[in-house]
Amino acid sequence: MLLVVLEHDRGAMDEAAREALTFGRKLAAQMGAPLHAALIGADDAELVSEAGAFGAEAVYTAVHDVLSDFGPEAWGEAAAEMIRQLNPGAVLAGGSERGNEIMAQVAARLDLPMVANCLEVDLNGGAGEWAITRQQWGGSLLEDARLVSERPLLTSGLHTLAAEQAEAAVEAVAQAVEVDLDPSLARTVVKDRVVLEAGVTLSTAPVVIGGGRGVGSPEAFAPLEELAAMLGGRVGCSRAVTNNGWRPHSDQVGQTGTRITPEIYIASGISGAIQHWVGAKASKRILAINIDPEANMVVKADWAVIADLHEVIPAITEEIKRRRA
């Protein structure tokens, strides 16, 4: 059995979990094994049936007092306990921040190797030796790795494949698993949550207006803000901008910031260094605005305007206003 540990936040399935189920379906077929899933801290029928739509035949659920909210140690121990009881041939999670963290907790507890952010996994004939291609440098570089393990613990590279439901949905069978968890694991469970803004966020925005060093100052982001607001999107920025203190780090798109997935990313005054590209490349379309026609961002974009962003962005805003009037 291939076991996919499903990431969810208070009962809402994360896109990374759907990606892991999609990745896992192919891996399970290669292993000649059924695809099963593990739900930690939830047993909602909706989550179970969604896992079934992605091809999971069985969904094991673990519900316990210390799993009332996310906690890396409690989730890790719950997953490790399910693995001890269920003996899966391999375990997979989505390569999100939480997904990688849970799997690391599992790996530490079971003292097994863990391979993060995999793109391809090959059974190699199934003699306990696996050939894996995984991401380094946020995906700017790939590593072919050899894994020797009786039970591979893997995560799938975030946003490296599109989540797709199974051709034939399966009626997933839910099955509760008793996990005996020490109350002390509550020491790393979320204590409180603070919501700063409701609505669209950088990682979910359908439109992102990015600004780089070329914007020039914190104040010069105002036209980008106006355009973003008009399109129901968000402003993002490069590492140079946050390092200059022009924008908060939470606006940074990049390897050390947010990975965005908008319908269109309008990157203005951004050269497109590796660090930024890693966060931008999952955008469905990219439009670059730059005075340098050779800029990496321009070369990689679907469309480009080779001109000063300080003139182009307001002109776009005006054109939209004109058409809406």
Partner 1 sequence: MRILCCVKRVPAPGAKINVTDDGLAVDASHLGFATSPHEECGVEEAVQITERHGGEVTVLTLGPPEAADQLRYAASVGAHHGVLVATDGSAWDPQRTAVALTDAIRGLEAADGPFDLLVFGNESADSGGFQVGVRVAYALGRPIVNGVKGIEVDTEAGGGVVRARREIDGGFEVYELPMPAAVGVKEGINLPRYPTMRGRLASKKLEIAEQGSDAEPGGQSLVRLHRPRETVTETVILGNSPEAAPAVVDVLEELGVV
Q: How far is the CB of 137 from partner 1 (least distance, A)?
A: 6
d(CA 312, CA 73): 49
DSSP for 35-73, please give it.
EEEEEES---HHHHHHHHHTT-SEEEEE--GGGSS--HH
Query: Are the C-beta atoms of residues 144 and 133 closer than 8 Å to each other?
Result: yes
Choose between 61 and 155: whose C-beta lies nearer to partner 1.
155
Looking only at the bridges linking them, the beta strands covering 12-13 and 8-9 are antiparallel
Q: How far is the CB of 48 from partner 1 (least distance, A)?
A: 24
Choose between 55 and 223: whose C-beta lies nearer to partner 1.
223
Provide the CB-side half-sphere exposure for 101 (13 A, CA).
Answer: 11
Q: Helix (H, G, I), strand (E, B), or coil: what is residue 90?
A: strand
Q: How far is the CB of 94 from partner 1 (least distance, A)?
A: 12
Choose between 60 and 70: whose C-beta lies nearer to partner 1.
70
Query: Can you tell me which residue has the tokens 């739509």?
Result: 53
Q: How far is the CB of 38 from partner 1 (least distance, A)?
A: 19
Alpha helical stretches, state H, 204-308: 222-230, 239-243, 274-280, 296-300
Choose between 79 and 174: whose C-beta lies nearer to partner 1.
79
d(CA 227, CA 265): 12
What radius of gyration do the chain's Cα atoms show? 22
Q: How far is the CB of 169 from partner 1 (least distance, A)?
A: 28
Q: Helix (H, G, I), strand (E, B), or coil: what is residue 177?
A: coil
Query: Are the C-beta atoms of residues 132 and 121 closer than 8 Å to each other?
Result: yes
d(CA 227, CA 13): 31
Q: How far is the CB of 59 from partner 1 (least distance, A)?
A: 25
Query: Can you tell me which residue has the tokens 């190797």?
Result: 113
Choose between 45 and 108: whose C-beta lies nearer to partner 1.
108
Choose between 111 and 180: whose C-beta lies nearer to partner 1.
111
Query: Are the C-beta atoms of residues 66 and 186 closer than 8 Å to each other?
Result: yes
Choose between 11 and 303: whose C-beta lies nearer to partner 1.
303
Choose between 206 and 216: whose C-beta lies nearer to partner 1.
206
Q: How far is the CB of 220 from partner 1 (least distance, A)?
A: 16
Provide the CB-side half-sphere exposure for 137 (13 A, CA).
Answer: 9
Q: How far is the CB of 278 from partner 1 (least distance, A)?
A: 10
